[in-house]
């Protein structure tokens, strides 16, 4: 059984850390996690708590939603991190970072991040998994845009997330502006 001790992760077999904003998690992310579980014993979903980047959902909400989605999958561990990703990964026994690739537009950013992380920790490699054909057009950003305009996002995110998006966007306009979000 994986141990869910925050920070230090032990006896989890082959571990991959899947970092991201997950604002909110989509079936694109979930597909990557499920496919990664065919290769790794444990996937740690590491949700970035980045004060610089405005998010629609708070860090606690994002963590709670991903935990709810994987409540029956003990080899998916959900955690949050602040600061440098390589410092967070050093507290786990992961040697692999997991990222998803959709279009060539993802490539440049991912290439730079992977190269930077490798330079910060030469023992850390990034594994890229290609998106599935069903989700290549799905991003948290477009999901939020569509949901904010009242469009249906069912089938692209779990029902729980679709509900939570509806709740968020029911807020009065002034409150929405106060919250704001970038991506």
Say which of 21, 29, 55, 144 is annotated catalytic. 29
Looking at the Cβ atoms of 26 and 117, the one nearer to ligand ADP is 26
CB within 8 A of 23, min separation 6: which ones?
55, 56, 57, 62, 140, 144, 181, 183
Number of chain positions touching ligand ADP (CB under 6 A): 17
CB 96 within 8 A of CB 126: yes
List the one residue from 2, 63, 135, 144 that touches ligand ADP (CB under 6 A).
135
Residue 88 touches ligand ADP, criterion: CB under 6 A:
no
Burial class (CB within 10 angstroms; exposed 0-12, middle 13-18, buried 19+) of 130: exposed
Choose the stretch contacting ligand ADP; rule: CB under 6 A; options: 17-25, 68-76, 88-96, 172-180.
17-25
Give the integer Cα–Cα distance in Å for 58 and 26: 16
Whether 112 sits among the annotated catalytic residues: the reply is no
138 scored as a contact of ligand ADP (CB under 6 A)? yes
Is 117 one of the binding residues for ligand ADP (CB under 6 A)?
A: no
15 vs 36, which CB is nearer to ligand ADP?
36
> What is the SS3 string spanning 61-102?
HHHHHHHHHCCCCCCEEEEEECCCHHHHHHCCCCCEEEEEEC
Catalytic residue from among 21, 55, 140, 168: 140
Say which residues have a Cβ less than 8 Å from residue 105's Cβ, sequence separation at least 6.
none
> In this complex, which beta carbon is closest to ligand ADP, that of residue 21 or of residue 92?
21
- Residue ranges in contact with ligand ADP by CB under 6 A: 20-22, 26, 28-29, 32, 99-100, 102, 106, 131, 135, 138-140, 183
State the catalytic residues.
29, 53, 102, 140
């Amino acid at each position: 059984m994986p141990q869910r001790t925050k920070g230090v992760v032990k006896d989890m077999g082959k571990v991959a850390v899947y970092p991201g904003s997950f604002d909110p998690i989509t079936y694109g992310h979930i597909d990557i996690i499920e496919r990664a579980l065919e290769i790794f014993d444990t996937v740690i979903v590491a949700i970035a708590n980045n004060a610089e980047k405005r998010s629609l959902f708070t860090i606690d909400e994002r963590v709670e939603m991903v935990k709810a989605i994987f409540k029956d999958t003990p080899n998916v561990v959900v955690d949050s991190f602040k600061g440098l990703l390589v410092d967070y990964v050093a507290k786990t026994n992961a040697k692999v970072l997991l990222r998803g690739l959709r279009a060539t537009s993802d490539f440049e950013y991912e290439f730079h991040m992977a190269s930077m992380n490798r330079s910060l920790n030469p023992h850390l490699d990034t594994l890229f998994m290609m998106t599935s054909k069903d989700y290549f057009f799905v991003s948290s950003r477009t999901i939020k845009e569509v949901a904010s305009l009242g469009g249906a996002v069912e089938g692209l995110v779990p029902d729980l997330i679709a509900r939570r998006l509806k709740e968020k966007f029911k807020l009065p306009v002034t409150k929405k502006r106060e919250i704001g979000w970038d991506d």
